[in-house]
Amino acid sequence: MRTTILLSSLGLALLAAPAVRADSLVLGGGCFWCLDATYKLKTGVTAVTCGYAGGATENPTYAQIGRGDSGHAEVVKIDYDPAQITLAELLGFFWKVHNPTQVGGQGNDHGSQYRSIILYADAAQKAAAEQARAQAAASFTQPLTTEIVPLKHFWPAEEYHQDYFAKNPQAGYCVYVIKPKVDKLKKDLAPRP
């Protein structure tokens, strides 16, 4: 009986707690470690998960992605609180964290797995992505290569890819590629006096 009362009280407490609405967005713009680290700078982002999407291979591995024959891109699933940050703001930030004009990769990362891609979950996300791409195009001298495609499935990457920059700040890629990008974005995001 005591267990029943405790469980009932716990259930009532859970029901009474205010619901936090969280949406998600799946993006690819080069190595997912970079997107993971940069999107964690944004207020309102509640979680970032590295993964794979945009291809046909079921439950792909990093080795399959690295060969470039799975059709998948390295992507991140960004969970966010729309009361703190909008979909438009997240998409606007996307154009700042990678080069959407580069064909076949990002920087020194070459291959279709590093392509610029937005994977939409519904018609509203598709419309927002298309509008964001059209607005961003005016800021670039070359055409944007960003694909906008339906999200069929998101496959989380292996655990060692999650929070890679935070866990491996002294790794070469982190020191020479991710840290300078994060530092620049921190300056851009800092409030102006």
Which domains, ranges and CATH numbers included, belong to the chain? 20-188 (3.30.1060.10)
Give me the catalytic one of 31, 34, 50, 174: 31
Q: What is the pLDDT of residue 193?
A: 66
Q: What is the pLDDT of residue 68?
A: 86
Share the mean pLDDT of the chain.
88
From residue 143, how far is each of 74, 149, 189 by CA, in Å?
22, 18, 26
pLDDT bucket at 15, cuts 50 / 70 / 90 = very low
Q: Determine the average pLDDT of the residues in 68-94.
A: 95
Phi, psi torsion values for 114, nearest 5 degrees: -110, 15
Q: Determine the average pLDDT of the residues in 113-121.
A: 96
Q: What is the pLDDT of residue 53?
A: 97
Is 31 one of the annotated active-site residues of the chain? yes
DSSP state, 178? I
Q: pLDDT at residue 106 above 80?
A: yes
Place of tokens 């298309």: 130
**Closest listed residue to residue 119, CA positions, set 71, 82, 68, 83:** 71
Q: What is the pLDDT of residue 192?
A: 63
**Using CA atoms, how far apart are residues 37 and 185, in angstroms rounded to an integer?**
10
Of 13-17, 92-96, 117-121, the poorest mean pLDDT is in 13-17
Q: pLDDT at residue 13 above 60?
A: no
Structure tokens at 72: 């998948």
